[in-house]
C-alpha cells in the first residue's frame, strides 16, 4: 500500500526538520523518515534565544520573508493544537544614549513603512506594559506587537508527535554518514545503522549541512557563528505582558541584554544582537549576565544562573537562507538558515509545497543554493 508513496528522508530534528516533517506528513502521498544523530533539538534549536521577529531583518525582501513567517506562527499553533511553548506579547526595547536612540527612531520609521506593527512608546507606556521594570534612563523606547518567543523543545516535540501520528518514522541517535548516488540522484541515505532508500533527501542538519552536502558534491558554504544564551533556575513571573525585552547597555563596556521567560519560570538571557559572536560559557559570564538582568528586573530575586554550552548558529556564508533543490544532485533539498525559529512555519509549509507538489515558490528565489555555484 505504501510502495507508491514518495519517500522523503529528512536529516536533522531541529525546528526546521521538525516543521518540514510535520507539514510533509500531512500529505497522503508522502512517507516521511526523520534521522537525528542525537536527540531532537540538540543543535542550534536547543541553544537559541528563539525570538521570532522581523525587527532587524534587511533588506526588505528578507524582512518580508521573516514577517510572513512570523505571522504564520499563529496559524501553525492553531493547526498543531497542543502546547508548543509559544509566548505572545511582543518585544519591548529602549535606548539610554542619544545616538542609539536616533538609530532606534529611524529603524521604527523604516519598518513601519514596511508595514511592521511597531511603534515608539513613552517611559510611562513601558511601565504600564511591565510595571516591575527598572529601565533607568530612557531616551527612546519601542514596542513591536507581533513578536513572540517559542520554547523550541516543546515545538519540536509536538511537530514530531503529529508527524508520527500520520505515519512518519523518527530515528534518534542515528547519524547520517553518506549517500548512495545513482544517475545524479540520491537513491539511499547511509547511516551508522542502515541504509534508507529515498526519493527526496532534505538536509535540515544545521551547521553539519555543509559537510553532508559536500558528500553529494553540493557546495553550501557557511561561516562560524557561536553564541551564548544562558539559562536560570525558575523564578517569579518577571515579564507580565511582553514576550521579549531588549535592555539598553548600562555603560559603554556592555552590550544590550535580551531576556525572555519560559512557562516554568526560568529565564533565557543573552547579550548583543541576534547574530552576536560569544564563546564565553563560563559560570562567571552567566552570573554577570544575570546580575545585569536583576538591575532591570529586581523581581528575578534568587534565581541562579546556569551556564550553557556555546550554540553554533547555522549561518550561510552571506547570512541569508539556503533553500531548495541542488543542481549537483537533483533530489537533494537544502534547508539551512539563521533565524530558523522565525522562519520555521514558512519554510516548513513552503518546502512541503516544493517537495510534494514540484512547485517552485517565488519567495525563495533569492535564497537558492546555486548562488554559491
Ligand X SMILES: Cc1cc2nc3c(=O)[nH]c(=O)nc-3n(C[C@H](O)[C@H](O)[C@H](O)COP(=O)(O)OP(=O)(O)OC[C@H]3O[C@@H](n4cnc5c(N)ncnc54)[C@H](O)[C@@H]3O)c2cc1C
Residues that bind ligand X (CB under 6 A): 11-17, 35-38, 42-45, 47-52, 175-176, 204-206, 208, 212, 227, 229, 274, 311, 313-314, 337-342
Residue 56 C-beta: closest distance to ligand X, Å: 10
Question: Which lies closer to ligand X via its Cβ, residue 212 or residue 329?
Answer: 212
Q: Are 229 and 360 in contact (CB under 8 A)?
A: no
In DSSP notation, 28-74 reads TTEEEEEE-SSSTTTTGGGG---EE--TT--SHHHHHHHHHHHHHHH
Question: Which lies closer to ligand X via its Cβ, residue 36 or residue 151?
Answer: 36
CB atoms within 10 A of CB 7: 18
Question: Which lies closer to ligand X via its Cβ, residue 38 or residue 123?
Answer: 38
How many whole angstroms separate alpha carbon 327 and alpha carbon 173? 30
Residue 40 C-beta: closest distance to ligand X, Å: 7
Residue 373 C-beta: closest distance to ligand X, Å: 22
Q: Are 72 and 203 in contact (CB under 8 A)?
A: no
Residue 193 C-beta: closest distance to ligand X, Å: 11
Question: Which lies closer to ligand X via its Cβ, residue 256 or residue 338?
Answer: 338
Bond from prior residue into 366 cis (ω within 30 degrees of 0)? no
How many whole angstroms separate alpha carbon 292 and alpha carbon 247? 10
Question: Which lies closer to ligand X via its Cβ, residue 311 or residue 324?
Answer: 311
Residue 174 C-beta: closest distance to ligand X, Å: 6
Residue 109 C-beta: closest distance to ligand X, Å: 23
Q: Which residues contact 91 (CB under 8 A, 6 or more apart)?
A: 51, 53, 55, 143, 144, 147, 242, 243, 244, 245, 246
Q: Are 336 and 220 in contact (CB under 8 A)?
A: yes
Question: Which lies closer to ligand X via its Cβ, residue 109 or residue 214?
Answer: 214
Amino acid at each position: 500500500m505504501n510502495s507508491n508513496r514518495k519517500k522523503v528522508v529528512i536529516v536533522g530534528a531541529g525546528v526546521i526538520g521538525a516543521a518540514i516533517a510535520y507539514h510533509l506528513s500531512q500529505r497522503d502521498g508522502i512517507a516521511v523518515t526523520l534521522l537525528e544523530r542525537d536527540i531532537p533539538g540538540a543543535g542550534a534549536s536547543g541553544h537559541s534565544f528563539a525570538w521570532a521577529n522581523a525587527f532587524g531583518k534587511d533588506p526588505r525582501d528578507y524582512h518580508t520573508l521573516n514577517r510572513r513567517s512570523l505571522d504564520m506562527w499563529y496559524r501553525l499553533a492553531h493547526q498543531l493544537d497542543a502546547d508548543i511553548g509559544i509566548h505572545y506579547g511582543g518585544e519591548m526595547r529602549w535606548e539610554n544614549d542619544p545616538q542609539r536612540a536616533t538609530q532606534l527612531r529611524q529603524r521604527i520609521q523604516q519598518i513601519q513603512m514596511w508595514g511592521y506593527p511597531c511603534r515608539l512608546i513613552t517611559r510611562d507606556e513601558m511601565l504600564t506594559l511591565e510595571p516591575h521594570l527598572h529601565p533607568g534612563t530612557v531616551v527612546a523606547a519601542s514596542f513591536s506587537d507581533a513578536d513572540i518567543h517559542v520554547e523550541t523543545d516543546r515545538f519540536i516535540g509536538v511537530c514530531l508527535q503529529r508527524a508520527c501520528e500520520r505515519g512518519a518514522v523518527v530515528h534518534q541517535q542515528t547519524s547520517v554518514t553518506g549517500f548512495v548516488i545513482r544517475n545524479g540522484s540520491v537513491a539511499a541515505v547511509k547511516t551508522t545503522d542502515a541504509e534508507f532508500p529515498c526519493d527526496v533527501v532534505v538536509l535540515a542538519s544545521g551547521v553539519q549541512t555543509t559537510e553532508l552536502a559536500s558528500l553529494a558534491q553540493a557546495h553550501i558554504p557557511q561561516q562560524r557563528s557561536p553564541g551564548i544564551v544562558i539559562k536560570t533556575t525558575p523564578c517569579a513571573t518577571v515579564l507580565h505582558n511582553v514576550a521579549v525585552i531588549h535592555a539598553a547597555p548600562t555603560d559603554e563596556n556592555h552590550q544590550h541584554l535580551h531576556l525572555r521567560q519560559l512557562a516554568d519560570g526560568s529565564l533565557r538571557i543573552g547579550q548583543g544582537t541576534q547574530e552576536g559572536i560569544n564563546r564565553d560559557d563560563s559560570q562567571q559570564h552567566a552570573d554577570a549576565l544575570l546580575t545585569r538582568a536583576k538591575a532591570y528586573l529586581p523581581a528575578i530575586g534568587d534565581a541562579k544562573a546556569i551556564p550553557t554550552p556555546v550554540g553554533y548558529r547555522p549561518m550561510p556564508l552571506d547570512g541569508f537562507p539556503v533553500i531548495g533543490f541542488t543542481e549537483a544532485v537533483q533530489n537533494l533539498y537544502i534547508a539551512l538558515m539563521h533565524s530558523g525559529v522565525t522562519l520555521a512555519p514558512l519554510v516548513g509549509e513552503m518546502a512541503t509545497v516544493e517537495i510534494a507538489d514540484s512547485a517552485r515558490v517565488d519567495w525563495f528565489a533569492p535564497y537558492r543554493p546555486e548562488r554559491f555555484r
